[in-house]
Amino acid sequence: MLRVLPMLAYLALVVYALVDVVQSDEEDGGGIQKGFWILIILLLPFAGSIAWLVVSRRARAHRRPAPRTGYPAGPVPPAQYPGRRRTWETDDSASADPDDDAEMRWLLEQARLKREREQAAGSAHPPAQDDERGAAG
C-alpha cells in the first residue's frame, strides 16, 4: 500500500497538469504554446508538471487584479444628503398660511376624518345607562 501511494500522487500530479494546460488560456503558458507544454509534461512528467504549475500560477497572478478587501482606501467621507425640510416649516420665501401648503391641508383633512369616524362610532354605540341608578336617583 505504501508503494502505491507515491505512484498515485505522481500520476495525479501529471494528470492535473495536463488537464490544467488544456483548460488554460494562451497567456498562462509564459510565452510557450499549449502543445509544447503538453509535450514537456509527457516527456518529463515530474519536472514538466512542476514547471507548468510554477509558470502558470505566476502568469495568472500577474494578470489577476489585486483582491478587493471590501474596505475603502481612506477614511469614509460623511454622507452628503440634502437637508429635509417640512413644507409647513416657514422660511423667507414660504407663506405662513396653512391653506397654501398641500401637506398641511392633507394633515388637517386626516384629523377631520378621524374625528368624524370617532363621532360616528360614538353615536352608533351610545353609552349604556344603568336603569337602577336612574330609577333610584
Pairs from 8-12 (Cβ < 8 Å, separation ≥ 24): 10/45, 10/46
Section 126-133 average pLDDT: 55
- 60 versus 113: which is more confidently predicted? 113
| Sequence ranges of the domains in the chain | 4-63, 98-126
Alpha helices in 30-101 (DSSP H): 34-43, 45-63
Query: Is this prediction's pTM over 0.75?
Result: no
Q: Which of 39-43, 46-50, 68-72 has the lowest mean pLDDT?
A: 68-72
